């Protein structure tokens, strides 16, 4: 089997399936890594070889979620070989190959932590990027991909193109996030790219900021403040704050771009303020009814 041609065809297949460039790159990188590691013809790989590959990834201390993503990519490739290339080989990645996943609750920032973070973010670009994550719930990849034509600040909204799962959606922008965006756009200057957020210094000045570039800025502010924080924590914080402000779960699901409501409902588990408020509000009603039913004599 000519693996070079097969991978080229597989790439075309994924593009036809409308996978995002980011996902496409990840799938193919994992596949190439696997092919090099097994070092045998791909049709000779069996479930034992997949188990050895899993052990190899574990030895590198990769997270279970990352390892399972590797296995999903490999399983999809073998499905492609069977159904599209009509190469009749069994899929060596079994359902039980996946590692058991811990399910930690999403971590959000407390209000005072949000204040500490934004107190040290002085650069207009960084302030705008992270305010949009916090107030609009955008993923880091979505922030990197926002174009000037996607901004509709007169109506306080952003059009998110090809978010996770290649789904478009509209998100809304709070006053402080809008102000941060406008402050940045005033100093951004003309650039050849339509992307909103650009590199400001060095040989790549004026080019779109990368996902890794945004993450590195957050890592810098985490060191500066001593907070344990990532870009995704801002998205979790937005969801939790909206729940605490009595927003409907289905509304938050739509804003975050979640496929299923189960993902969004996980935020309910950490929304203790709302639970506490609902409890005491209900208790007031219960005790009032009890007092009316059994008046003091």
C-alpha neighbours within 13 Å on the C-beta side of residue 35: 18
String of DSSP letters for 72-117? HHHHHHHHHHHHTS------S--GGGSPP---PPPP---HHHHHHH
> Residue 27 has which token pair?
């799938």
Cα–Cα distance measured from residue 131 to residue 134, given in angstroms and rounded to the nearest whole number: 5
266: left (phi over 0), alpha (psi -120 to 50) or beta: alpha
What angle, rounded to 10 degrees, do the helices at 231-244 and 211-225 form?
70
CA distance 293 to 45: 73
Neighbours of 89 (CB within 10 A): 15
Cβ atoms of residues 244 and 271 within 8 Å: yes
Token digits for 202?
Answer: 């060095």
- Diameter of the chain measured on Cα atoms: 92
Contact between 296 and 290 (Cβ < 8 Å): no
- Catalytically active residues are 139, 164, 232, 235, 258, 267
């Amino acid at each position: 089997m000519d693996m070079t041609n097969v991978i080229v065809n597989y790439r075309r297949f994924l593009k036809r399936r409308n996978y995002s460039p980011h996902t496409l790159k990840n799938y193919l990188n994992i596949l190439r890594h696997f092919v090099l590691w097994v070092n045998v013809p791909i049709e000779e790989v069996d479930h034992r070889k997949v188990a050895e590959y899993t052990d190899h990834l574990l030895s590198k201390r990769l997270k279970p979620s990352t390892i399972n993503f590797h296995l999903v990519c490999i399983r999809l490739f073998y499905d492609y070989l069977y159904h599209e290339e009509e190469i009749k080989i069994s899929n060596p990645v079994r359902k039980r190959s996946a590692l058991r996943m811990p399910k930690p609750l999403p971590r959000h920032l407390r209000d005072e932590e949000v204040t500490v973070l934004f107190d040290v973010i002085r650069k207009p670009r960084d302030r705008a990027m992270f305010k949009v994550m916090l107030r609009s719930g955008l993923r880091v990849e979505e922030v990197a991909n926002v174009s000037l034509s996607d901004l509709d600040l007169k109506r306080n909204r952003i059009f998110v193109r090809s978010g996770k799962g290649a789904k478009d959606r509209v998100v809304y922008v709070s006053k402080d996030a809008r102000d941060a965006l406008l402050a940045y756009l005033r100093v951004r200057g003309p650039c050849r790219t339509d992307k909103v957020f650009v590199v400001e210094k060095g040989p790549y000045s004026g080019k779109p900021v990368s996902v890794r570039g945004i993450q590195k800025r957050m890592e810098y502010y985490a060191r500066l403040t001593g907070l344990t924080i990532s870009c995704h924590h801002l998205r979790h914080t937005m969801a939790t704050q909206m729940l605490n402000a009595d927003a409907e779960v289905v509304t938050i699901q739509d804003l975050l771009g979640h496929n299923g409501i189960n993902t969004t409902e996980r935020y309910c588990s950490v929304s203790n303020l709302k639970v506490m408020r609902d409890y005491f509000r209900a208790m007031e009603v219960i005790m009032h009814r009890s007092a009316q039913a059994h008046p003091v004599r």
